[in-house]
Chains A and B, each alone.
Chain A
Amino acid sequence: MKQLVVIGNGMAGVACVEQILKFRHDFQITIFGDETHVNYNRILLSSVLAGEKTADDIVLNDIDWYQANGIRARLGVRVENIDPSRCVVVDAEGAETSYDRLILATGSSAFIPPINGVDKKNVHVFRTLDDTRALLEKSRPGCKAVVLGGGLLGLEAARGLQVQGCDVTVVHLMETLMERQLDSLGGSYLRRKMETLGVRVMLGKQTQAFLGNGKVEGLQFSCGEQVEADLVIVAAGIRPNAELGRKAGVEVRRGIVVNDYMETSDPHILAVGECTEHNGQVFGLVAPLLEQGKVLAATVTGNRGPVFTGASPAAKLKIMGVDVFSAGNIEDREPSVECIRYEDPSLGIYKKLLIKDNRLHGVILVGDASDDHRYIEWLRANTDLTPHRRHLLFPPPAEDAGLDVAQMPDNETICGCMGVTKGDIIAAIHTYGVNTMGQLKDRTRASTGCGSCGNLCSRLLKAVAPDFEEDKQKVLCSCVPFTQERLRDMVRSQKLRSAQDVLDIYGNGKGCEICKPALSYIVDMVWCGDHEEDRSARFINDRVHANIQKDGTFSVVPRMRGGVTTPAELRKIADVAEKYNVPMVKVTGSQRIDLLGVKKADLPAIWDELGMPSGQAYTKGVRMVKTCVGSQFCRFGTQDSIAAGIDLERRLENLYTPHKFKMGVVGCPRNCAEATVKDLGMVGQEGNWQIVFGGAAGKGVRKADLLVTVETTEEALTACEIVFQYYRENANYLERTYDFVERLGIEKVRKETVYAPPEVRQALLDRLKKSKDKSYDAWMERVRPRPTQFVEIQPMEPVNA
Chain B
Amino acid sequence: MKWIRITSTENIPEREGRALMLDSRSVALFNLGDRFVALENRCPHGGGPLADGIVGGATVTCPLHNWRVCLDSGAITKPCDVSSPAVQTYPVKVENGVILLGIDEASAAA
Contact = CB atoms under 8 A, between A and B. Distances in A.
A787 B61 contact: no
Nearest to A788: B11
Interface in A768-801: 786-788, 791-797, 799-800
B57 to A, nearest CB: 3
B36 to A, nearest CB: 12
A511 interface: yes
A792 B47 CA distance: 17
A536 B59 CA distance: 13
A792 B7 contact: no
A799 B54 contact: no
A537 interface: yes
Contacts of B54: 512-513, 516-517, 536-540
Contacts of B98: 796
Contacts of B101: 795
B52 A552 contact: yes
Contact of A513 (B10, B15, B18, B56): B56
Contact of A792 (B4, B12, B16, B21): B21
A688 B72 CA distance: 62
A799 B11 contact: no
B109 to A, nearest CB: 7
Contact of B6 (A513, A534, A791, A793): A793
Contacts of A551: 47
Contacts of A535: 13, 16
A548 B7 contact: no
B37 interface: no
B49 A552 contact: yes
B19 A787 contact: no
Nearest to A479: B56
Given A513-B53, A513-B56, A548-B63, A799 B103 contact: yes
B11 A793 contact: yes
B63 A799 contact: no
Contact of B18 (A516, A534, A539, A793): A793
A318 interface: no
A389 interface: no
A227 B1 CA distance: 90
A540 B5 contact: no
Interface in B46-104: 46-49, 52-57, 59, 61, 63-64, 66, 68, 98, 101, 103
A516 B12 CA distance: 19
Contacts of B48: 552
Contacts of B15: 500, 534, 536-537
A599 to B, nearest CB: 11
B63 A795 contact: no
Q: Chain A contact residues: over half helix, strand or loop, or mixed?
A: loop
A511 B56 CA distance: 5
Contacts of A635: none
Nearest to A554: B52
Instruction: From B4, B29, B54, name the one whose CB has the most chain A CB atoms within 10 angstroms.
Output: B54
Interface in A617-642: none
A552 to B, nearest CB: 4
Interface in A539-573: 539-540, 543, 548, 550-552
Given A793-B20, A796-B7, A516 B13 contact: no
B9 to A, nearest CB: 10
Nearest to B31: A536
B34 interface: no
Nearest to A511: B56
A551 B46 CA distance: 9
Interface in A504-551: 508-513, 516-517, 534-540, 543, 548, 550-551
Given A511-B56, A513-B54, A800 B109 contact: yes
Nearest to B65: A550
Contacts of B56: 479, 510-513, 516
B21 A536 contact: no
B21 A794 contact: yes
Contacts of A792: 18-21
A796 B52 contact: no
* Contact-size category for A: 20 to 34
B22 interface: yes
Nearest to A549: B64
A170 to B, nearest CB: 53
B22 A795 contact: yes
Nearest to A786: B13
Given A513-B61, A796-B98, A788 B18 contact: yes
Contact of A787 (B13, B49, B55, B66): B13
Interface string B33-44: 000000000000
Nearest to A544: B52
Instruction: From B12, B57, B103, name the one whose CB has the most chain A CB atoms within 10 angstroms.
Output: B57
A536 B14 contact: yes
B108 to A, nearest CB: 6
Contacts of A799: 4, 22-23, 103, 108
Contact of B7 (A511, A550, A793, A800): A793
A421 B109 CA distance: 70
A796 B22 CA distance: 11
Contacts of B53: 513, 540
Instruction: From B14, B19, B68, name the one whose CB has the most chain A CB atoms within 10 angstroms.
Output: B19
B46 to A, nearest CB: 7
Instruction: From A536, A538, A551, A786, name the one whose CB has the most chain B CB atoms within 10 angstroms.
Output: A536
A725 B4 CA distance: 51
Nearest to B5: A796
Contacts of B68: 512
B6 A796 contact: yes
Contacts of B10: 787
A795 B14 CA distance: 19
B63 A540 contact: yes
Contacts of B52: 540, 543, 548, 552
Contact of A550 (B19, B46, B55, B109): B46
Nearest to B78: A512
Contacts of B6: 793, 795-796
B61 A512 contact: yes
B5 A795 contact: yes
Contacts of A508: 57
B19 A793 contact: yes
B67 to A, nearest CB: 10
Nearest to B23: A799
A313 to B, nearest CB: 60
A513 B11 CA distance: 23
Nearest to A538: B54
A235 to B, nearest CB: 58
A535 B13 CA distance: 9
Contacts of B57: 508-511
B20 A539 contact: no
Interface of A: 479, 500, 508-513, 516-517, 534-540, 543, 548, 550-552, 786-788, 791-797, 799-800
Given A536-B16, A537-B15, A794-B20, 20 more contacts: A512-B56, A534-B15, A543-B52, A550-B64, A551-B47, A552-B48, A552-B49, A552-B52, A787-B12, A788-B12, A788-B18, A792-B18, A792-B21, A793-B21, A795-B6, A795-B20, A796-B7, A796-B98, A799-B23, A800-B108
9 contacts: A535-B16, A536-B54, A543-B16, A788-B11, A792-B18, A793-B11, A795-B4, A799-B23, A799-B103
Complex A-B, nearest 9 residue pairs according to Cβ-Cβ distance, in ascending order: A510-B57, A536-B15, A512-B56, A513-B61, A540-B52, A793-B20, A513-B54, A552-B49, A796-B5
Interface of B: 4-7, 10-16, 18-23, 29, 46-49, 52-57, 59, 61, 63-64, 66, 68, 98, 101, 103, 108-109
